[in-house]
């Protein structure tokens, strides 16, 4: 028997989440963002659930090849564009649309030999200060691109730093609008947080929205809102079984560093999931889990291959019981990945992306 741990990717949840996004922005086309191997879910595993998107956005060229290999003939956008001149050959061959965020990428395009001009997304830095042309440089970049025979349509994009928080997007939208107002082309500005939180704001115009985290069923603005608030369902479940039970007495400790000391006789379940599976070691005693679909908690330190839970409130549970680390239990109860992420001081994104290679993954309908 293989080690009793499993991740499950829920095709129906992906489809549902995509439709939630579509409802939020009825007029916009949707890029399903599948970078980082579909946020750890696996590009091939999410494809069926997300093929209703208008396009796929990602940044590794090998991932673009994988999407084409699945038979996808629609748009694919490289969110960071070409890294070197050779990448443009693949763009020509696979009809990839690509971001242009710096002069060096325009230089590469100008030297690129292609029969088919490329669709590009010209990126402005509206305040995030990561990628993109500064506002005062955007127009000259656009003019330069527009003069290139290698370039077909030019779309305009920017990225928000605070769509999930109180600072919001207005300051960036204003800067973007001011510079791009009289430039033609489609706009792409909204990530998940902007798509869900600022959809009703007429100033946030996005012909193409770029949701990632929302399609995987995690709230972009947890804990202000949870996934249920946005009508999102978890696309990934991580579950494992109890492989041993220990009866500890008052004063006994559990696990490395003896961080948990029993205050009364306690039944400890040892679960076949550890940090080498992608479960964060930093999660403290009290991190929520589902034990046969009922809320329980971890105790003690997470180790490489195991973690421990308090089975005392669950007299029926024992070796072979299923513990859901995040996602949906068999009885339908959900433990949002965002709650586990919060216990680890991070975000759902990081947990799903860190699902380890050694965990077997099943795809459910
Ligand atoms: C990752 C990414 C997104 C998706 O962000 P989410 O917060 O996951 O919705 C959108 N746009 C760009 C440029 C990105 O890199």
Residue closest via CA to ligand 1's atom 15 equals 79
Q: Is the dihedral of CA 78, 80, 81, 83 positive or negative?
A: negative
Q: What is the pLDDT of residue 202?
A: 86
Query: What 8-state DSSP symbol labels residue 284?
Result: P
35 is a catalytic site residue: yes
**Model confidence over 132-141: pLDDT tens digits?**
999 999 999 9
Residues within a 6 A CB radius of ligand 1: 33, 35, 79, 159, 191-193, 210-214, 220
Which residue in the list 216, 256, 275, 349 is annotated as catalytic?
Answer: 256
Answer whether 163's CB lies under 8 Å from 194's CB.
yes
Query: What 8-state DSSP symbol labels residue 53?
Result: S
Give 343 Cα–ligand 1 centroid separation in angstroms: 23
The ligand 1 atom nearest the CA atom of 220: 7
Q: What is the pLDDT of residue 1?
A: 82
Boundaries of CATH 3.20.20.10 in the chain?
A: 11-218
Pocket test for ligand 1, best of 81, 191, 194 (most atoms within 8 A of CB): 191
What is the CATH number assigned to the segment(s) 11-218? 3.20.20.10
Is residue 247's pLDDT more than 90? yes
**CA pair distance 290, 130, nearest whole angstrom:** 39
Which residue in the list 35, 39, 275, 349 is annotated as catalytic?
Answer: 35
The ligand 1 atom nearest the CA atom of 33: 4
Answer whether 334's CB lies under 8 Å from 8's CB.
no
Is residue 226's pLDDT more than 90? yes
From residue 351, give the alpha-carbon distance in Å to each of 277, 340, 343, 346.
10, 9, 11, 8
Q: What share of the chain is helix, strand, coil (3-state, %, to 5)?
A: 30, 25, 45
**Model confidence over 296-317: pLDDT tens digits?**
999 999 999 999 999 999 999 9
What is the CATH number assigned to the segment(s) 236-364? 2.40.37.10
Boundaries of CATH 2.40.37.10 in the chain?
A: 236-364
Answer whether 349's CB lies under 8 Å from 39's CB.
yes
Q: What is the pLDDT of residue 264?
A: 97
Percent of the chain with pLDDT over 90: 97
Residue closest via CA to ligand 1's atom 14 equals 79
Mean pLDDT of the chain: 97
205 is a catalytic site residue: no
The ligand 1 atom nearest the CA atom of 99: 13
């Amino acid at each position: 028997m293989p080690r009793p741990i499993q991740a499950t990717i829920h095709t129906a949840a992906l489809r549902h989440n995509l439709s939630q996004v579509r409802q939020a922005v009825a007029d916009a086309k949707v890029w399903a963002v599948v970078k980082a191997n579909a946020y750890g879910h696996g590009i091939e595993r999410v494809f069926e659930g997300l093929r209703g998107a208008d396009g796929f956005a990602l940044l590794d060229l090998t991932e673009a090849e994988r999407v084409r290999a699945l038979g996808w003939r629609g748009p694919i956008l490289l969110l960071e564009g070409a890294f070197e001149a050779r990448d443009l050959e693949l763009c020509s061959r696979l009809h990839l649309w690509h971001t242009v965020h710096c002069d060096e990428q325009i230089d590469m395009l100008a030297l690129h030999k292609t029969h088919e001009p490329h669709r590009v997304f010209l990126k402005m830095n509206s305040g995030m200060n990561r990628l993109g042309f500064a506002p005062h440089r955007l127009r000259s970049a656009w003019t330069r691109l527009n003069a290139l025979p290698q370039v077909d349509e030019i779309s305009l994009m920017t990225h928000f730093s605070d769509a999930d928080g109180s600072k919001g997007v207005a300051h960036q939208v204003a800067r973007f609008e001011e510079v791009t107002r009289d430039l033609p082309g489609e706009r792409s500005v909204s990530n998940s947080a902007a798509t869900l939180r600022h959809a009703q704001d007429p100033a946030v115009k996005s012909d193409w929205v770029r949701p990632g985290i929302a399609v995987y069923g995690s709230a972009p603005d947890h804990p202000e809102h949870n996934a249920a608030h946005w009508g999102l369902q978890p696309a990934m479940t991580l579950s494992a079984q109890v492989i041993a039970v220990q009866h500890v007495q008052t004063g006994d400790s559990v696990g490395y560093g003896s961080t948990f000391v029993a205050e009364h006789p306690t039944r400890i379940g040892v679960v076949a999931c550890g940090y080498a599976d992608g479960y964060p070691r930093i999660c403290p005693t009290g991190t929520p889990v589902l034990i046969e679909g009922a809320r329980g908690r971890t105790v003690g330190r997470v180790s490489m291959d195991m973690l421990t839970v308090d089975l005392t409130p669950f007299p029926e549970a024992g070796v072979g019981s299923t513990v859901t680390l995040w996602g949906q239990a068999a009885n339908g109860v959900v433990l949002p990945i965002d709650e586990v992420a919060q216990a680890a001081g991070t975000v759902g994104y990081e947990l799903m992306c860190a699902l380890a290679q050694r965990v077997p993954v099943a795809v459910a309908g």
